Structure 1
Amino acid sequence: MRITTSTADGMAVQRVADSAPAEAAEAVQPPAPAPLQSSVMQPALQAMREMPEIDQEKVDLLRNALAKGELPFDPGKLAGLIQRFHGSEQ
């Protein structure tokens, strides 16, 4: 690991270490997730963890429908929704 520090005269000094300092290792670790109290949520969370990140079958169906003109697409409406989502309403 490279560690960059500055000297009193403003010069940058780089050191190479085999491992991170102990306090840096503690700072990097994310906080433990808070346990969910509801037993109703546990099965839903497990089902969500088992789902693929992207539903490729659905993506392919939508892509084909757009290509065939079977699914209407309004680029102006999409642009407005993006602007509203990102808080840049005009």
Structure 2
Amino acid sequence: MRITTSTPDGMAVQRVAETAPADVAEAPAAPSPAPLQSAVMQPALQAMKDMPDIDQARVDMLRDALAKGELPFDPAKLAGLIQRFHGSEQ
């Protein structure tokens, strides 16, 4: 008998035993992804993997605009947005 369990970090662990333990119920098998969904999603997933983690050209453009004063910057607004994002509004 093959028993599949999940660890807290989401890893699947399989054990092989001659008989099922009395205190463990048989877990239903996880459904496999639909073939159409998988075929449709694969190009998008690959495109995301091929993208750089940081758009350096965009970062450079924004940095230059900030340095030239062409892009308004409100540090108080930024601080408020950071607090709201992290759930520590005061």
Name the CA distance, whole Å, in 2 between partners of 1:83 and 1:41.
35
% identity of equivalent residues: 74
Name structure 1 gaps, 5 residues minimum.
Answer: 1-26
Moved >3 Å (runs of 4+): 34-37
State whether residues 65 and 71 of structure 1, in contact with CA within 8 Å, keep that contact through their aligned partners in structure 2. yes
Please, what TM-score do these two structures have when normalized by structure 1?
0.58
String of CA shifts for 1:15-70, please: whole Å, max 9, x gaps.
xxxxxxxxxxxx8xx737x9754233221111000001111111100000000001
Aligned residue pair count:
62
User: Counterpart of 2:78?
Assistant: 78
User: Counterpart of 1:64?
Assistant: 64
Question: CA separation of 1:66/1:40 partners in 2, compared to 1, >3 Å: closer, same or farther?
Answer: same
Question: CA separation of 1:72/1:58 partners in 2, compared to 1, >3 Å: closer, same or farther?
Answer: same
Name the CA distance, whole Å, in 2 between partners of 1:47 and 1:31.
26
Name structure 2 gaps, 5 residues minimum.
Answer: 1-6, 13-29
Higher-RCO chain (CA-CA 8 Å, sequence separation at least 6): 2
User: Counterpart of 1:42?
Assistant: 42
Please, what TM-score do these two structures have when normalized by structure 2?
0.58
Superposed CA RMSD: 2.5
How far off is 1:78 after superposition? 0.3
